[in-house]
A = this chain, B = another copy of it.
Amino acid sequence: MNYKGRHYRTVWLEGETVHLIDQNLLPFEFRIRESKDFVTTCEAIKRMTVRGAPAIGAAGAFAMAQAFNEMPQGGGEEFLKQAKEKIEQTRPTGQNLFAAVRRVFAAATASDSPRTAACREALRIADEDVLCCRKIGEFGGALIKDGARIMTHCNAGWLACVDYGTALAPVYIARESGKKLFVYVSETRPRSQGAKLTAWELKNENVPFSLFADGAGAYLMKKEKVDLVIVGADRIARNGDVANKIGTFEKAIAAKGLGIPFFVAAPTSTIDAACASGDAIPIEYRDKSELLSQTVLTEEHGLVTGQIYPEDFPAVNPGFDVTPALYITGYITERGIIAPKDFQGFAQGSGG
């Protein structure tokens, strides 16, 4: 997508160097990190230079390709095994990461030219992700009428993928096709991915939008006549229950209460067919410091981190929530839009 008129992917390979947009510095600074070896790429994944499951998958694939390139003459096997483990351990719950690393490893070890094969497979994974998101955008874009008002939560944009994004892909494709639209972006406390990443993306893509405080969602849906809500997904159970960023469930209840369509946009690889329902999805409770402290940009001291509230205040900080299928109008996938009543059958036929 675009930054100052130039086209970028979130992560890409040039020669043997991985390039990544440093998402820790956004929205205040746009900087590209270069990683010349797989260990540095592992560090970048760990330090969240790149985040979002599909983008992490591509970064992991590139790291695996780098490891094949770095393997010593002769004793490559042990080196590669350890490299694979190291890459997989950068993030604990990355379904896409494991799958991508395994694919590169398998393609390379099956080939007479493992270095070339690893590199080619990694590039293919990234390209497939772009294509998949583009398809989601095309199917979802058809739901967006000219003049539509769309609400989204968190960041499921191109920064979370290699390009286009999931929840934002329909927005980008609808814009490409000349439709006017307006996006309401929730701040998404405590980590503020809406305000830091989605807002930054939309600004750079010249999509008109407004940020809002999370609690204002229902009021704005009603008052500003929001036409539809689109969010991403971290994991979708076989019955259609969706785990996603904390706050998704509250927006889904509000949308249902107000009669506003609520769509989940995600690649079919997000479907966990082995998971019967949302009850089986464990929810991570994260450190309360995310809620109690904040980094601000000041003229005098630059970026400064401090307490917004005393650190001894108790706080409960679930990182994700589960939205039951009954709140969802449809699932926008790269294979089309799936109605809730068809989801279980679809999941069993296609899920990862």
A residues near B (Cβ < 8 Å) are 27-28, 153, 184, 186-190, 192, 195-196, 199, 203, 208-220, 222-224, 246-251, 253-254, 256-258, 283, 288, 291-301, 304-310, 313-318, 321-322
Q: Is the CB of A296 within 8 A of B291?
A: no
Q: B301, A296: Cβ atoms under 8 Å?
A: no
Contact of A257 (CB < 8 Å), options: B211, B212, B256: B256
Alpha-carbon distance between A190 and B321 when the two chains are bound, in angstroms: 22
B212 touches A316 (CB 8 A): yes
**Chain B nearest CB, measured from A203 CB (Å):** 7
Task: Tell me the nearest residue of chain B to A211, going by C-beta.
Answer: B315
Partner of A195 from B212, B213, B214, B308 at Cβ < 8 Å: B308
* With A195-B308, A256-B257, A258-B253: A219-B297 Cβ-Cβ less than 8 Å: no
Given contacts A219-B321, A294-B308, contact A214 B199 (CB under 8 A): no
- Is there an interface contact between B294 and A294, defined as CB atoms closer than 8 Å? yes
A244, chain B: closest CB distance, angstroms = 11
Query: Residue A309 contacts which of B153, B199, B210, B217 (CB distance < 8 angstroms)?
Result: B199
B316 touches A249 (CB 8 A): no
CA distance A297 to B313 in the complex (A): 14
How close is A291's CB to chain B, nearest CB, in angstroms?
6
> Chain A contact residues: over half helix, strand or loop, or mixed?
mixed
Question: For residue A318, which residues in chain B have a CB less than 8 angstroms away from its CB?
Answer: 216, 219-220, 223
For the complex formed, measure the closest distance between the CB of A315 and the CB atoms of chain B, giving whole angstroms.
4
Determine which residue in A192, A295, A306 has the highest number of CB atoms from chain B within 10 A of its CB, and name it. Answer: A306
Q: Given the complex, which residues of B lie within 8 Å of A184, measured CB to CB?
A: 316
Q: Are A250 and B215 in contact (CB under 8 A)?
A: yes
How many angstroms between the C-alpha atoms of A304 and B308 in the bound complex? 10
Specify which of B213, B283, B300 is in contact with A189 (CB 8 Å cutoff).
B213
Top 9 nearest A-B pairs by Cβ distance? Answer: A215-B247, A296-B306, A298-B306, A218-B250, A219-B321, A211-B315, A189-B213, A210-B316, A214-B215
Q: Please determine whether A313 and B214 come into contact, CB atoms closer than 8 angstroms.
A: no
Residues of B within 8 A of A223 (CB): 283, 318
Bound: A329/B195 CA distance, A: 34
Chain B residues, CB < 8 A from A300 = 301, 304
Q: Is the CB of B298 within 8 A of A304?
A: yes
- How far, in Å, is A334 (CB) from chain B's closest CB? 28
Cross-chain contact B315 with A210 (CB below 8 angstroms): yes
Shortest Cβ distance from A340 into chain B, in angstroms? 17
Q: Hey, which chain B residues are within 8 Å of A256, CB to CB?
A: 257
Residue of B nearest to A256 (CB): B257
Least CB distance from A70 to B in Å reads 39
With A and B bound together, what is the CA distance between A296 and B3 in angstroms?
A: 31
Asked whether, in the complex, the Cβ of B211 is within 8 Å of the Cβ of A214, the reply is no
State whether A304 touches B304 (Cβ < 8 A): yes
Q: Which residue of B lies closest to A213 (CB)?
A: B189
Pairs A–B under 8 Å by Cβ, sample size 6: A211-B292, A212-B315, A213-B246, A223-B318, A253-B254, A298-B306
Asked, given contacts A215-B246, A217-B250, A253-B258, whether A210 binds B314 with beta carbons under 8 Å apart, the answer is: yes
